[in-house]
Structure 1
């Protein structure tokens, strides 16, 4: 009788021993794998940070024994979101300065700065996020109020896009700036022989370069703060566009210490020290950090009228913006990066800026290729130039929330005909059949759900305009999700290791409380991240 009673226990032990042991088993989920067929699954097995298998609940629960299980209770899992264009480092540092986003007047900015200065009584007063297009008076301010409030303390406040700033007289004096100064690719504004404090594009560097560098502790804290906020949004890889190599090295150290877990694709800034560094070292690739290219700047931003246009601005006759460097500079960078096999990623906003870079790329790429050279933003493109993206396999890396932020005033800048070639995401998608999406945070909000909403719905949070902004250039939900996952990975040469939930790929995924592929328009901006996993490790839980 004892033998008979022991049989159930023996069968249980035998059954358990026959199961394959894994680290994590996700089950009873609706999993969007974002594979080539856009298939869904119910369960996913993970071991050593990699996906072993996706399939049905019945099959995987029967096959695997896991150290940890995640019962999704019918909720929705997607590949970890990838932001194909952002400023992770700058965003983190910006959390330590005055936040001016959402201010609706110059008075609101000075009020915010006065309050901030009381809790930060020493050193430079730095802020970012103002946008004169959000004010009733939609013109650049002058610095008189700043001079009155802070006569002995230097102040530098950057516009939301980082392509314009205002400095008080103390900062201008410390930088030794005087009326009449001329700078390539920038403007030091003066009125009646007196500096107004407004600096556009390259002129900002004349002041920012004298600001003391942040300490190592400030940099570390900024990176960790940025990571925390990004994980809470389901972001697992960030393309950080335009860094000095020293910051990339600190990221690597924090990765190795285990403090920084965010995966980062870093573009080094266009500068000799960065070129020398990467040319000597070669492409950098760890499991969390990838450095393989350079960020170059063709022109400024549309909001500050620094974007370089083929014809003058509709709201500023006789002004067409400017290139930030001579065309010969872009050509020389393209030449050396092509020959050394690095990726070139160039910021271009205006139709002249885009044409200049498209033609520069074409000179070296010569036809279809797999170099994956990118144009960051590709914001205003002349109708005659769209085909160049496909002809030379040039990748437009776009940020959908720029469309819904700029739509209130873009036509004033460009006119009714030229604006049809702006924020033309669907037209750009057609050129190569894929398009990576990002936010450009902190220029825009870090939320990938706002990216998705802007790409698909093309309205603001209040539902304006009723039919969507230039709705013919909206993306489908599938295209938008691919743009935030597998296509973003592809733009970084990483599509074989991430961007979809398939066997052998890293277990980076996010659990949401709603299905963005089917949720009603009005529900998309209310979707919440429940959990975020990187390499099979839970890094965020609501």
Structure 2
């Protein structure tokens, strides 16, 4: 492969290359594997960096263990807010996170913010709670336990305000460096008023780093003029991403048609049908990408019904040209997928959710029961319905490991839901570019004329594979020239990134 400037200029055999480019700088990869670089289609950059420098509670195996990790971190970091993330009590021997009183007992008068793994609820110490005006009257308030909905947004805003500018800057840089080290050259930042706030997004947008940041702003509008103005004010790629129709299954805030199997309610809805439809209509008229965070089946139905209203009013071509997108899209029916595919709506999904929470004994099964849980994240059905797929990590919710994402999509824990490694790799590369509005036909590939954006990997074995529960649709014979990918054996480490290059510039290695 010959690269001239920021573009791939030539592909072919070594002897011809050396003859055509006698003065080129030659890099001998010594058997390493070169592939298009990854795109992570759903991230939260600053929160990802804060996890790397803050309190990581993902390893907590019980309430007592969680409290011990909090106490150890508080002892090591004497000053400032304790910002933590990742506790997940759904698999603990005795479900139920530490109480406010238990947290206060190990940290004293320190402000503490500890988001749940899905970041749709959080624990907060009494000193932090005291800073949030109106908290006791806010929706989702709990005096002793996790805060959700508006109460969570209030304490999260106060926690953000206690972070110094240096902490936030260092967090952004650390996160972007980590993406580059994982073979990722572009990320879709899902920003919004309740997530990081406008200042955080603007500072990220202005950060000088080789990682390309495609930003989406999650705030509803009701007119085309308002959509255009908000696009101007934010500099976002679209008014989409984490515009919350509902919450998350783990926090019991995903909006369901039927009650949770382990709770006597159907979760929460944050936007009504008319608001959802008005946003889609306004963005469609302004030719702006709209989108929503939808996880529960009632949330998905609300979004699909709203888009259908706009399709009936403005027509399929007007809707399809905008590249509207739905984030997560976990509980979607085949009929809904067919409609969304016909309207050109993009599925921005996270295969690692199934790897973490799927299966007969996983969190999905506990929250939804054995009948509903296996139907979550039906990637093959979405692809079969013509929905473009874009894969993301939702970092810091799941780790930055794009090969693990590809593996999870090919090893889905529900029968018939997996996709091939080739389709999964495409969704993690070209799919991310297309979802971000880059549809030139070459970006995300290694072809002449494409941007020189690639990663070099140490990979022991290459193979051409299909999901175990599907019919093989292409030849695995090397003579067929079907591109091979690293063998992603479950339980084995992912390929190791040796170098990441974006548009001809080395970002890592």
State the TM-score bracket (shorter-chain normalisation).
Answer: 0.7 to 0.9
Q: How big is the shift at 1:135?
A: 1.2
Partner of residue 400 from structure 1, selected from 327, 351, 356: 351
Partner of residue 203 from structure 1, selected from 146, 151, 155: 151
**Residue 219 of structure 1 pairs with residue 168 of structure 2:** yes
Asked whether the equivalents of residues 321 and 344 of structure 2 are also in contact (C-alpha less than 8 Å), the reply is yes
> Equivalent residue for 1:29?
none
**Residue 94 of structure 1 pairs with residue 45 of structure 2:** no
> Equivalent residue for 1:373?
324
Pick which of 472-481 and 511-520 moved more: 511-520
> Equivalent residue for 1:447?
401
**Residue 247 of structure 1 pairs with residue 200 of structure 2:** yes
Task: Calculate the TM-score normalised by the size of structure 2.
Answer: 0.86
For residues 459-481 of structure 1, give each alpha carbon's deviation from its aligned partner in whole angstroms, at most 9, with x where no partner exists: xxxxxxxxxx1131111011011
> Equivalent residue for 1:261?
210
Asked whether the equivalents of residues 284 and 292 of structure 1 are also in contact (C-alpha less than 8 Å), the reply is no
For residues 111-137 of structure 1, give each alpha carbon's deviation from its aligned partner in whole angstroms, at most 9, with x where no partner exists: 122222223222322211100113111
For residues 342-375 of structure 1, give each alpha carbon's deviation from its aligned partner in whole angstroms, at most 9, with x where no partner exists: 1112110000001101111222244352321111
Q: 1:1-12 alignment to 2 at 5 Å? A: none
Asked whether the equivalents of residues 264 and 290 of structure 1 are also in contact (C-alpha less than 8 Å), the reply is no
Distance 1:337 1:474, change over 3 A: same
- Unaligned runs of at least 5 residues, structure 2: 464-484
Distance 1:282 1:54, change over 3 A: farther
CA distance in 2, matches of 1:168, 1:217: 23
Q: 1:96-135 alignment to 2 at 5 Å? A: 96-135=53-92
> Equivalent residue for 1:163?
120
Asked whether the equivalents of residues 86 and 240 of structure 1 are also in contact (C-alpha less than 8 Å), the reply is yes
Distance 1:68 1:249, change over 3 A: farther
> Equivalent residue for 2:105?
148
Q: How big is the shift at 1:252?
A: 4.1
CA distance in 1, matches of 2:450, 2:135: 56
CA distance in 2, matches of 1:524, 1:344: 38
Pick which of 379-388 and 487-496 moved more: 379-388
> Equivalent residue for 1:13?
none
CA distance in 1, matches of 2:2, 2:84: 46
For residues 292-329 of structure 1, give each alpha carbon's deviation from its aligned partner in whole angstroms, at most 9, with x where no partner exists: 33331110001111000011112223x00011223332
Distance 1:253 1:322, change over 3 A: closer
Q: How big is the shift at 1:429?
A: 1.1
Pick which of 380-389 and 307-316 moved more: 380-389
Q: How big is the shift at 1:281?
A: 8.0
Distance 1:77 1:343, change over 3 A: same
> Equivalent residue for 1:353?
299
Distance 1:277 1:220, change over 3 A: farther
**Residue 457 of structure 1 pairs with residue 414 of structure 2:** no
> Equivalent residue for 2:286?
340
CA distance in 2, matches of 1:205, 1:523: 37
Task: Calculate the TM-score normalised by the size of structure 1.
Answer: 0.81
Distance 1:480 1:127, change over 3 A: same
Report the number of matched residues. Answer: 469
> Equivalent residue for 2:261?
314
Asked whether the equivalents of residues 287 and 321 of structure 2 are also in contact (C-alpha less than 8 Å), the reply is no
> Equivalent residue for 1:410?
364
> Alignment partner of 1:432: what SS?
coil
**RMSD in angstroms over aligned alpha carbons?**
2.5
Q: How big is the shift at 1:283?
A: 6.9
Q: How big is the shift at 1:153?
A: 2.0
Q: How big is the shift at 1:220?
A: 2.3
**Residue 475 of structure 1 pairs with residue 406 of structure 2:** no
- Unaligned runs of at least 5 residues, structure 1: 1-43, 190-194, 459-468
Q: Rg larger in 1 or in 2? A: 1
